[in-house]
A and B are shown apart, each in its own frame.
Chain A
Amino acid sequence: MTLAGAALVALAVLLVVALVFGGLIVGGRAVRRAREARRAKLATPARRLLLAIAAGDDDPEQVEALVRLSDEVWQAVEPNAIALLGKVRGEAHTTLVDVFERRGAAWRARSRLRRRDPVARAQAAEVLGNLGRKDALLPLCDLLGDPDPDVRVVAARSLGRIGDAGATQPLLATLASRRMVPQQVVATALTRLGTAAQGALLASLDDPRAPIRATAAEVLGLIGAVGATVRVESALRADPSLDVRISAARTLGRLGTRTALAPLLDSLEPDRPVALRAEAAKALGELGAVTAASALTVLLSDIEYVVAHNAARSLLRLGGAGRAALTAAEHRAETEPDDERVLLGAAHAREALAAAELDDHRRQLVP
């Protein structure tokens, strides 16, 4: 082909492609607008019914009207219904679930769990979780090993929403799996299982895999499993994984049992990793044990910022004794102005005391 031919072809191709894309933009916009307008029109009356149910109105006629909506109308309003399902609680949630069930949503979702399209599988898992279908426990546990990471995450979240303690082990197992689910997602789901999961979580503290032990330790604190204190204490003392020990320290703070004082104080020793010392200092504040005041006061002049900072904030939480220790540390700067460690401790103390005064001031403003 000659250059002239090439030029003509190039220009012609450009023109055609430009026209095609121009048409796509205009056509796409026109179709989208028309569809949106039609959906809005279809959904308006049904949305009113949904909002009434969400507001606690369980009038059987309204429920029946939703159940009998044509598929076209239901499709238009379904995104709103799903959004409401995730937000409402109590009676309204039960009524809404009933509407979904009677429209065959659970059956449809179950049939889509094995679709080739990962988005279809994830949507199905989401629906089953929203409906709280306990009979979906096993298929959802299977999805925890799905090749698609998004499907695994949705399955884990849904298991949390269903709230059956039988999901504890499968959820924990995903943390060490080749097809893993992020720790935060698993821990949040486990937290929603509540105290029923406590036994399995306790047993998981002996698991050889560190991520499982760390998450189990974390969740035990979040669900307030006071009975697990002794076992968590031993994890703090002796677990070979730093992550597990940090989670254990945090959990002991959350549980607030006095027996945790000794292992937490032991974790403050200078030869312990900084992250552990910082977490232990924080946990001692949550524990509220006045006897920790002297150890925390020493930490005020720690060279690690986060350790000293947490110690100062924890002293505040110990009440009068802690504040007295902070005030004393602040005043030490006046008697030993050349000692930089004393100055640093005094600075942390001053910062914490000022924050406390502000909090007190704000509390006084609340009627």
Chain B
Amino acid sequence: MTADWVRQLLTVTDVFILTYFLLINSSYLVLIVLASAEFVHHMRRVPFAGHEETYRSPLTQPVSVLVPAYNESAGIVQSVQAMLALRYPVFEVIVIDDGSTDDTFERLREEFGLVEVPRVVPDATPTRGRIQSVHVPRERPDPLVVVRKQNGGKTDAVNTGINVAQYPLVCMVDADSVLDPQALLSVAKPFTDDPIRTVASGGVIRVANGCTVVAGRIVDVRMPRNWLPRVQVVEYLRAFLLGRTGWSRIGGLLIISGAFGIFRRDLLVEVGGLDHDCIGEDAELVVRLHRHLRRQRRDYRIVFVAEPVSWSEAPSSLKVLGKQRRRWHRGITEILRKHRSMILNPRYGRIGLVAMPYYVLFELLAPIVELAGVVLVPLGLYVGAIDARFALVFVAVAYGYALLLNLIALTVEEYSFHRYHRWTDLIASVLASVLENFGYRQLTAMWRTMGMWAAIKGGKHEWGQMTRTGFQTVLTPEKTPETTAGKSPVEKAAKPVTAKEDVHAES
């Protein structure tokens, strides 16, 4: 016989879980409504968005596109070609080869005829992996810079890119991302519309699996063939596109994906670049920007724009998906722990009072409650703590409501951007919405819990020793007997060589 107190405890717990699901799903509904309002606002203004004026204006702020790459041999050339073809008045593409062990660099060197050049790189943000050499195209006037450095992780590569960047805006893009041609113009638009207050702008990430890519451009959008990425299409739509747009609408955006986000370079330097010791470095950067700017009482905006799209490949195996979700949730846990003093702190306005408490309640703790629901509700039913009617209500609130939210998200997509135009895509989306609630959610909850546990355990990240010298790194191609005999710098640098070690000059 189960003791009464156990039954009572289970009853109370199950009621709590039910209430939690009701609240979390209702919060998603609120975000979807906010996002819908934003979409209506945005779509009605597209005809006079002024992209053409921005493109032609001599005053449009130039952008440095940073592309950290590690073993991206397969797609790096196509990706860089597509980025060089982006529609924007003045920009440069900086590929940071983070010590790739494959032929990433060789592929670039062959395609673009790269030649090593001497370069002075300011030590504006902290880096760990030393820059080995900097390369530019020898014959083509492409605004491309390729930096080779010792492996130090994505954060280190991005920080190196920030240091190398020449322009006031920096756009972070994943090496395997495919950008819409107008993407840079659109994501930079907030900087034109509100140049004084805008400090960062994030673009939406969509799933590239199943789409047809020609010459680095998405030419045909369709649902992936496998069910795992299909479910992620729906998830990205609800959580990323609608969720982040909703948060942006109320000025509470905490995450800009490192796969596609644009920032003011001077501010990145001011806050010390990306944090080497945090796994969710992109989200951490945004939270740190909020913290920094709120402390200084500066009037600023961090926004999310739904129109420009960066297409990324979503994991198509459970193993990779599990790894991704563990990393993401470990990142969220670390960020919330690092910036815990902001939570419920009125000094940080709606970030401290609304956004961060929400993330603690409905992002950080969600997987635990999800798993608790999976275990405790059937258990409660089994021991008689709850009856079948309660279980039915639970299923309706936890899963039926969530399914409904997916349908609403699909409706919003259909009436706004309608990127997936086939009827078969629509059927696949609806089925994926159902599937997400049965198996996928529970699996991701387990991985997310594991990620949180990893963060609590506090395993140290292996990032190597950081050096913050306040020096400028001077990169000089190695001197050979020929160079002293009067060969030109271009000729001197024709063969890529490693820069001399420890050549620093005080800044």
**Smallest CB separation, A290 vs chain B (Å):** 23
Complex contacts, A343 vs chain B, CB 8 Å: 474, 503, 505
Q: Are B414 and A28 in contact, with the CB atoms below 8 A?
A: yes
**Smallest CB separation, B215 vs chain A (Å):** 24
Q: Are A361 and B195 in contact, with the CB atoms below 8 A?
A: no
Complex contacts, B140 vs chain A, CB 8 Å: 362
Cβ of A314 within 8 Å of any chain B Cβ, yes or no, is: no
- Cα A185 to Cα B48 in complex, Å, equals 13
Q: Are A350 and B47 in contact, with the CB atoms below 8 A?
A: no
Cβ of A153 within 8 Å of any chain B Cβ, yes or no, is: yes
**Smallest CB separation, A315 vs chain B (Å):** 14
- Cα A6 to Cα B389 in complex, Å, equals 9
Choose one: A4, A7, A183, A341; the contact of B195 (CB below 8 Å).
A183
Cβ of A358 within 8 Å of any chain B Cβ, yes or no, is: yes
Choose one: A11, A25, A191, A351; the contact of B118 (CB below 8 Å).
A351
Cβ of B458 within 8 Å of any chain A Cβ, yes or no, is: no
Complex contacts, B476 vs chain A, CB 8 Å: 347, 350
Cβ of B489 within 8 Å of any chain A Cβ, yes or no, is: yes
Cβ of B407 within 8 Å of any chain A Cβ, yes or no, is: yes
Interface residues of B in 363-397 (CB under 8 A from A): 387, 389-390, 392-393, 396-397
Cβ of B495 within 8 Å of any chain A Cβ, yes or no, is: no
Cβ of B117 within 8 Å of any chain A Cβ, yes or no, is: yes
Complex contacts, B120 vs chain A, CB 8 Å: 305, 308-309, 344, 347-348, 351
Given A18-B407, A24-B411, A187-B59, also A79-B505 (CB < 8 A): no
Cβ of B45 within 8 Å of any chain A Cβ, yes or no, is: yes
Cβ of B459 within 8 Å of any chain A Cβ, yes or no, is: no
Complex contacts, A24 vs chain B, CB 8 Å: 411, 414-415
- Cα A182 to Cα B52 in complex, Å, equals 16
- Cα A347 to Cα B430 in complex, Å, equals 60
**How many residues of B are counted as interface, with CB atoms below 8 angstroms from the partner's CB atoms?**
62
Q: Are B117 and A354 in contact, with the CB atoms below 8 A?
A: yes
Q: Are A21 and B401 in contact, with the CB atoms below 8 A?
A: no
Q: Are B490 and A185 in contact, with the CB atoms below 8 A?
A: no
Q: Are B45 and A188 in contact, with the CB atoms below 8 A?
A: no
Closest residue of chain A to B115 (Cβ to Cβ) is A358
Closest residue of chain B to A10 (Cβ to Cβ) is B396
- Cα A214 to Cα B117 in complex, Å, equals 37
- Cα A305 to Cα B507 in complex, Å, equals 7
Complex contacts, A350 vs chain B, CB 8 Å: 118, 476, 489
Q: Are A154 and B407 in contact, with the CB atoms below 8 A?
A: no
- Cα A344 to Cα B121 in complex, Å, equals 11
**Smallest CB separation, B35 vs chain A (Å):** 15
Closest residue of chain A to B121 (Cβ to Cβ) is A305
Closest residue of chain B to A12 (Cβ to Cβ) is B396
Q: Are A29 and B426 in contact, with the CB atoms below 8 A?
A: yes
Cβ of A126 within 8 Å of any chain B Cβ, yes or no, is: yes
Closest residue of chain A to B401 (Cβ to Cβ) is A14
Q: Are B118 and A354 in contact, with the CB atoms below 8 A?
A: yes
Complex contacts, B277 vs chain A, CB 8 Å: none
Give A11-40 as 1s and 0s: 1 = Cβ < 8 Å from B's Cβ atoms: 100100110011011101100100000000
Cβ of B101 within 8 Å of any chain A Cβ, yes or no, is: no
Given A18-B404, A358-B115, also A184-B60 (CB < 8 A): yes
Given A28-B415, A123-B48, also A358-B136 (CB < 8 A): yes
Cβ of B472 within 8 Å of any chain A Cβ, yes or no, is: yes
Given A10-B397, A150-B45, A191-B58, also A4-B389 (CB < 8 A): yes
Give A110-133 as 1s and 0s: 1 = Cβ < 8 Å from B's Cβ atoms: 000000000100110110000000
Complex contacts, A25 vs chain B, CB 8 Å: 407, 410-411, 414, 426
**Smallest CB separation, B131 vs chain A (Å):** 13
**Smallest CB separation, A83 vs chain B (Å):** 9
Q: Are A184 and B396 in contact, with the CB atoms below 8 A?
A: no
Given A14-B401, A353-B489, also A340-B45 (CB < 8 A): no
Closest residue of chain B to A345 (Cβ to Cβ) is B505
Cβ of B298 within 8 Å of any chain A Cβ, yes or no, is: no
Q: Are A126 and B489 in contact, with the CB atoms below 8 A?
A: no
Q: Are B118 and A21 in contact, with the CB atoms below 8 A?
A: no
Complex contacts, A45 vs chain B, CB 8 Å: none
- Cα A340 to Cα B472 in complex, Å, equals 11
**Smallest CB separation, A35 vs chain B (Å):** 12
- Cα A222 to Cα B493 in complex, Å, equals 38
Q: Are B392 and A11 in contact, with the CB atoms below 8 A?
A: yes
Give B60-103 as 1s and 0s: 1 = Cβ < 8 Å from A's Cβ atoms: 11000000000000000000000000000000000000000000
- Cα A343 to Cα B489 in complex, Å, equals 17
Cβ of A262 within 8 Å of any chain B Cβ, yes or no, is: no
Complex contacts, B403 vs chain A, CB 8 Å: 14, 18
Closest residue of chain A to B53 (Cβ to Cβ) is A157
**Smallest CB separation, A219 vs chain B (Å):** 9
Closest residue of chain B to A21 (Cβ to Cβ) is B407
Cβ of A149 within 8 Å of any chain B Cβ, yes or no, is: yes
Which of A86, A157, A357, A362 is the most central at the interface, judged by chain B CB atoms within 10 Å of its CB? A357
- Cα A287 to Cα B474 in complex, Å, equals 29
Interface pairs A-B: 6 shortest CB-CB = A354-B489, A344-B505, A305-B122, A347-B474, A7-B392, A10-B396
A-B residue pairs in contact (CB < 8 Å), sample of 13: A10-B400, A11-B396, A17-B404, A29-B418, A79-B47, A154-B48, A185-B50, A222-B58, A308-B120, A343-B505, A354-B118, A355-B117, A357-B489
Which residues of A are interface residues toward B (Cβ below 8 A)? 2-4, 6-7, 10-11, 14, 17-18, 21-22, 24-26, 28-29, 32, 79, 82, 86-87, 119, 122-123, 125-126, 149-150, 153-154, 157, 182-185, 187-188, 191, 218, 222, 303, 305-306, 308-309, 340-341, 343-344, 347-348, 350-351, 353-355, 357-358, 361-362, 365
New A-B pairs, 5, CB < 8 Å, besides A306-B122, A341-B505 = A87-B52, A123-B47, A183-B195, A184-B192, A222-B59
Which residues of B are interface residues toward A (Cβ below 8 A)? 44-45, 47-48, 50, 52-53, 57-61, 115, 117-120, 122, 124, 136, 138-141, 192-195, 387, 389-390, 392-393, 396-397, 400-401, 403-404, 407-408, 410-411, 414-415, 418, 423, 426, 430, 472, 474-476, 488-490, 493, 503-507
